[in-house]
Structure 1
Amino acid sequence: MSDALSAPDRDLLDELQRRTFGYFRDFAHPVSALARDRAKSDDDAGDDFCALGGSGFGAMVLVVGVERGWITRAEAVERLLTMTGFLLKAARFHGVLPHFLDGKAGTPIPLSPQDDAADLVEQALLLQGLLTARQYFDGDAAGERELRERIGRLWRETDWAWHTKGGEPVLYWHWSPTFGWAMNHPIRGWNECLIAYVLAAASPDHGIDPAVYHQGWTGGPEFRNGRRYHGIELPLGPEGGGPLFFAHYSFLGLDPRGLRDRYADYWAQNVAHVRVNEAHCRANPHGFAGYGADCWGLTASDDDQGYAAHDPAHDRGVISPTAALASLPYWPEASLRALRHFRHDLGGRIWGRYGFVDAFNLSAGWYATTYLAIDQGPIVCMIENHRSGLLWRLFMSCPEIQRGLRRLGFESPALA
């Protein structure tokens, strides 16, 4: 990857990354420094509703901010010390945090009546970000040493093996001390959860056997695809590929370039997924307003009916800027076309305090006023991975991650 861009495109990316970075600097919770789940408007003062996966993305955004000169190294370390100190005192369940956490009290905010405790996928997204930060803040200053120790505790105390529900060959998403395994949600692919299996195999104290990956993750009915959409063969995933966050969340840290195992080439998978998504929007089979080569990108986001996962098989006319923008490494030309259109042609309606709002539906005349942590974070991170490879390089330098990938049978230039 390189920063070899035209001057106007470079300026656009600089502006987008820096303004979106503000979500995690200026809108972070004042007590815990965690990422709030969403800002409801440009002038939202914020609440205590914090997202754990979004906070992992936020840790990576802080690393980018230091590297780009938007925040000092000392300030970023202080924020991460606040965050990790809070998390070590917050409610954890066999070391695993909930999906949402009260940023003041450190207590779970249930996602649903029975989903009131451990969320293994959110934990994985959090740790992906914290391990990346651990690799970056490698200095001898007392604060950086303390930060690495705290991240190490959160990492080592996560009991991945517990989430095999007594030794089954699959990881389970949720556990609650009140409801036990009642959610009954095995984590099977293909979706955003690859990172959970890599971390579970990499865990120094509570790891899983590789058979859990090979029988559980790859054993679902939507793991293999192999069909062609718009002339593009898609190796893995559900009909139409699913929402584009599948190509983003696990790959903020996992470097897909040259990443292979017996099932897929993950760079080829993600490129194909992005191309199918763009081709669907360009073909526009439902005749939605605005769709085209410069206005594409279907993923999970707020919409004019609430919140939903949008993809070619579940298309409501909702374009989510994060989908195209976070796909920059996979297809720069198409992502930059979308960026120029979003900023120059639609900017007055979708550009605000923290960058682009979450989504819009031109057919319905609807424009979100919200910004979501889990959508803002990938914009900054994946743009940076395209420009410098920074986050990929840091995460893949973790010795535990290299061990986990080897245990699962992966190949990667980072393992050479």
Structure 2
Amino acid sequence: MHVRDILELEERLSFNFFWNEVSETKEGYGLIVDNTGDKNVASIASVGFGLSAVPVGVENGWISREEGYQRAVKTLETFLNNVEQTHGFFVHFVSMKDGKRTWQSEVSVIDTALFLMGALVVGEYFGGEVNDLFESLYSRVEFPWYLDKQVNQIYMGYNFERGFWGHWDGYAEQLIIYILGVASPTYPIDPSVYYSFERKKGKYKDYELIYTYTGSLFTYQYSHAWIDFRNIVDKENVNWFENSTLATLANWEFCKDMHTVYKTLHEKSWGLTACDSPDGYRGDFGAPPSANNNTTHRTDGTIPPCGAIGSVVFTPDIVEETVKYYFEHVPQLWGHYGFKDAYNLDRNWVSKIYIGIDKGIELLMIENYKTGLLWDITMRNKYIKKGLQKLGFHQTNKE
């Protein structure tokens, strides 16, 4: 099978995950499972990716426009009326049945932002009632409530038992928070918040970049699934698209270098990022440069396909070779919804589950690679335009 056909099939089966693994209860309609290992718990981030998948399904002819419209309307109504929230920010993990909090979960700023991006995409795509629902949800979010005014940084998290903790004090997947935050029509934050996180530079081999704490690839991918950073820079002349390309190449080089330690890691099996593992979910798998003196790494030899596939817009040739390798040489990775979450040859292990955010970053990035659809929809939105402009982003002179 040609690699483009494999990518197309992976995108279609990833779409099926979001279309099928959904709640149809009266109070929880449209909620999507966090992962297939527990069908009772939804993740609001999973819903954000799932909503973003709706126009992809329509444009590819997998569902009708009316089916997509109805899914969008009913899902956004669920969030407006039933999903547990405070100050407009949603609880990260909720019950599939009624949208109420599970696992003493946190009220998450980043996962709310991921959900809002999905709501924005369907609002922009369908207009009308869908966009009205997005406007209601977005205007309800009190962005300054999540801001630590002492240091002018967004808090990392909040839950009802312990209050706020941590800060988004370095670069990671949170760029969408600032864009949505400064553009808010009701509760905006100041653009200076975006310039308050530290931009630490590190190097691996020939690749110097502004690194994230774990060096996990998803941190360089998520905001880019919606925001087209290819030809824009901020006031400090940072091009985040180029930065993510360098991070992807550093991750690839590191995995090649680690082949002597771990059988799973090599030139065509790479992409260290958060994923399922033989010891359960790990959010800290990554490659240098990272916060730990830019040298140490966090991996047990587990590789998730979403690590590479989520970077297909950054390093297409390398990713295509990798996708072809997984499909042809690791058949145990393939299942009902395409590539399973991860595998580890040293431990003779293959994940039994599919995780929403991992299927989501694959789906959105494959579509952006093919057509630029998510970028096109997002970048024409008035709030995204306003947010980028307020943050000082402008066109580069490069072709």
TM-score normalized by the length of structure 2: 0.91
CA distance in 2, matches of 1:236, 1:264: 13
1:404 aligns with 2:378: no
Q: Deviations over 1:38-91 (max 9, x none)?
A: 012xxxxx6220001111011111111111111111111111112111111122
Q: Secondary structure at the match of 1:405?
A: helix
SS at match of 1:300: coil
Aligned to 1:196: 177
- For the pair 1:292 / 2:266, whether they are aligned, the reply is yes
Correspondence 1:323-402 to 2 at 5 A: 323-347=307-331, 349-402=332-385
The Cα shift of 1:280 comes to 0.7
Once residues 65 and 367 of structure 2 are traced to their aligned partners in structure 1, the CA distance between those partners, rounded to angstroms, is: 17
User: What is the aligned counterpart of 1:17 among 8, 11, 14?
Assistant: 11
| Residue 167 (structure 1) shift | 6.7
The answer to whether 1:118 aligns with 2:107 is yes
Tell me whether 101-110 or 84-93 shows the greater mean CA deviation: 101-110
Which one is further off, 296-305 or 283-292?
A: 283-292
The letter of the residue matching 1:317 is: G
Q: Deviations 1:122-181 (Å, cap 9, x if unpaired)?
A: 11011111111111113xxxxxx2211111111111111111146751111333455432
In structure 1, which of residues 228, 236, 257 is the aligned counterpart of residue 230 of structure 2?
257
Structure 2 unaligned residues grouped into runs of 5+? 288-296
- AA aligned to 1:38 is N
Aligned to 1:105: 98
Tell me which amino acid in the other structure corresponds to 1:151: F
Question: What is the percentage of aligned positions where both structures have the same residue?
Answer: 29
Partner SS state of residue 155, structure 2: coil
Query: 2-side partners of 1:55 and 1:61: how far apart?
Result: 9
1:51 to 36, 39, 43: 43
Measure the CA separation in 2 of the matches of 1:72 and 1:386. 23
Aligned residues, how many? 381
Please state how far the C-alpha of 1:285 moved relative to its aligned partner.
5.9
The 5 Å alignment of 1:290-329 reads 290-308=264-282, 309-312=284-287, 313-329=297-313
Q: Is the 8 Å Cα contact of residues 192 and 245 (structure 1) preserved in structure 2?
A: yes
2-side partners of 1:128 and 1:380: how far apart? 15
SS in structure 2 at match of 1:198: helix
Quick one: which amino acid aligns to residue 368 of structure 2? N
**Counterpart of 1:267 in structure 2: which amino acid?**
F
Contact 1:29 1:48 in 2 (8 A): no
Does the 8 Å contact 1:24/1:61 carry over to 2?
Answer: yes
**Aligned with 2:166: secondary structure?**
coil
Q: 1:340 to 1:285 in 2, by over 3 A?
A: closer
Aligned to 1:142: none
| 1:93 maps onto 2:94 in alignment | no
Normalised by the size of structure 1, how large is the TM-score?
0.88
| Residue in structure 1 matching 2:244, options 270, 280, 285 | 270
Match in the other structure for 1:149:
132
Q: Over aligned residue pairs, what C-alpha RMSD do you find? A: 1.7
Q: C-alpha separation between the residues in 2 aligned to 1:50 and 1:237?
A: 27
SS of residue paired to 2:94: strand
Distance 1:152-1:167 versus aligned 2 partners, 3 A rule = farther
Output the CA distance in 2 between the equivalents of 1:92 and 1:174.
Answer: 14
Aligned AA (2:71): R
Q: Report deviation, 1:242.
A: 0.5
Distance 2:337 2:305 in 1: 13
In structure 2, relative to structure 1, the CA distance for the partners of 1:70 and 1:412 (3 Å cut) is farther
- Conserved in 1, the CA contact under 8 Å of 2:264 and 2:303? no
